[in-house]
Structure 1
Amino acid sequence: MTDEDRDADRPGQSGLTVGDGDTVLRYDPETATYRGTFDPDATPPSLLVPLIVSALREAPPETLPALHYSVDPSALDRICVPETGAEARFTYAGYRFSLDGTGIVCVADADE
């Protein structure tokens, strides 16, 4: 399978809508990442992360491992607020995440 075939099989090529519909991730084949923005005040990162994986896997969130096995959910919510300007990076359920307080989220397969 070529990289192009693998990219074509990715969900949400035109945009992956997550949760409440306010977060849309776009796939960038050059970096092999999904990128988007979110409102940390409206959707806490600790809720957003499982919703993203659920959308990527097309599986219910309750079928995913608990987030606290990868990162402290309350610490994640405290870090990713506009006032801190901080960034959190971690791996969860086979995906590498980068989120920050400005509302930027990047997701990539952990194996790539």
Structure 2
Amino acid sequence: MPSANDSTDESEPRDDSRVTTFDPASDRPSEAVVTAVAALRETEPADLPPLYEVVDPDALDSLVEHAQRVGDAGTHQVWFTYETFDIGVRTDGEIRIRDATATAS
């Protein structure tokens, strides 16, 4: 799992990315992802397929919770594809969303 200090394509901002945030101290990143994708799709979160079909929501939430408890472990991120979007969730509360079909070249 790359950290914010790693130099990878996925950690670099791109023009086609949309960024949203959540409060890692109090919000569940799994819920924030579904809410953000629903907003982009202009639909209700309940109308989307379950997130667990592509990533374990409890594991995603636990990663962020652990980073908050440890505090000095740096910032980490995990990437997955959900509803034709590449989703990058960072432990500092940033969610980067980009069109997966545009990156599949």
Superposition TM-score, scaled by structure 1 size: 0.67
Partner Cα separation in structure 1 for residue 43 and residue 93 of structure 2? 24
How far the C-alpha of 1:48 sits from its partner, in A, is 0.6
| Equivalence map 1:32-111=2 (5 Å) | 32-81=16-65, 82=68, 83=70, 84=73, 85-111=75-101
Letter in 2 for 1:100: R
Higher fraction of helix: 2
TM-score, with normalisation over the residues of structure 2? Answer: 0.72
CA contact (8 A) 2:20 2:36 kept: no
Q: Which has the higher strand share?
A: 1
**Counterpart residue identity of residue 39, structure 2:** A
Question: How high is the sequence identity, in percent, across the aligned residues?
Answer: 33
1:100 Cα deviation (Å)?
A: 1.1
Q: Name the Cα RMSD after superposition.
A: 1.7
Shift of 1:36: 2.9
Cα distance in 1 for partners of 2:26, 2:43 equals 23
Aligned residue pair count: 84
Q: 1:43 to 1:79 in 2, by over 3 A?
A: same
The answer to whether the 8 Å contact 1:34/1:106 transfers is yes
CA distance in structure 1 between the aligned counterparts of 2:51 and 2:77, rounded to whole angstroms: 17
Return the offset for 1:80. 2.2
